[in-house]
Chains A and B, each alone.
Chain A
């Protein structure tokens, strides 16, 4: 199985400051169709996961433009340009290029 490793585990951030979450995969996530199925999810306390980014860098509808994704191959990053109070929660990367699809362990973003 593809192992997804996220860092850091916990990320205290000052409001208005940037935040960055790293995700590394044990295998290349380039699918045989040429796409890289690396998604980012946000899970606020007590809520279902919400997809923010799909295929590395594409923002889902309604997602604020302060969220951005980048990377390639086995190394990916989610960035929040200016953290707001509503961004508190756990962020997960997920690969959908190989079955079983697998999630990273999560990064908890909290306000300092």
Chain B
């Protein structure tokens, strides 16, 4: 059974940093593109970043470019999102997803507030 489990969310002050993790199991992790998406409270979905199966290509939505970094450790079947210079508008549930949304984790809440 495919499982994606996110962790690392929490409350952080504006300008602060947070690192999200996603542990994958039940599939060959190093064979798939992986993604982070987010959903602000009461709002729709937004794709944040995507990384090729071997980590050689990464793409970001404009609103997080230069602040967020997606990475992966295939030996640990893990995906990461380093978030720096956080803003109030980054407040959202962050989801890890495989490929083009075939599987999603349960999400982890990031709240940016003073």
Give me the interface of A with B, judged by CB distance under 8 Å.
Answer: 37, 39, 41, 43, 48-51, 54, 60, 92, 94, 96, 99-106
B58: shortest Cβ distance to chain A, in Å? 10
How many B residues have CB within 8 A of the partner chain? 19
Interface string of B71-114 (1 = CB under 8 A from A): 00000000000000000000000010000111111110000000
Report yes or no: A100 in contact with B44, Cβ–Cβ below 8 A.
no
B100 contact from A48, A100, A101, Cβ within 8 A: A101
Report yes or no: B100 in contact with A54, Cβ–Cβ below 8 A.
yes
B102 contact from A60, A101, A105, Cβ within 8 A: A60
In the A-B complex, the 3 residue pairs with the closest CB atoms: A96-B100, A101-B47, A48-B104
Residue on A nearest B107 in the bound complex, by CB: A48
Residue on B nearest A61 in the bound complex, by CB: B102
Residue on A nearest B100 in the bound complex, by CB: A96
Is B11 an interface position by the 8 A CB rule? no
A64: shortest Cβ distance to chain B, in Å? 18
Q: How far is the CA of A36 from the CA of B101 in the complex (A)?
A: 15
Q: How far is the CA of A49 from the CA of B106 in the complex (A)?
A: 9
A57: shortest Cβ distance to chain B, in Å? 15
The verdict on A103 contacting B106 (CB below 8 Å), with A49-B95, A54-B100, A94-B101 known, is no
- 14 A-B pairs in the complex with CB atoms less than 8 angstroms apart: A39-B101, A41-B45, A41-B101, A43-B45, A48-B105, A48-B106, A48-B107, A51-B103, A92-B45, A96-B101, A99-B50, A100-B61, A103-B46, A106-B44
Report yes or no: B95 in contact with A39, Cβ–Cβ below 8 A.
no
Report yes or no: A103 in contact with B47, Cβ–Cβ below 8 A.
yes
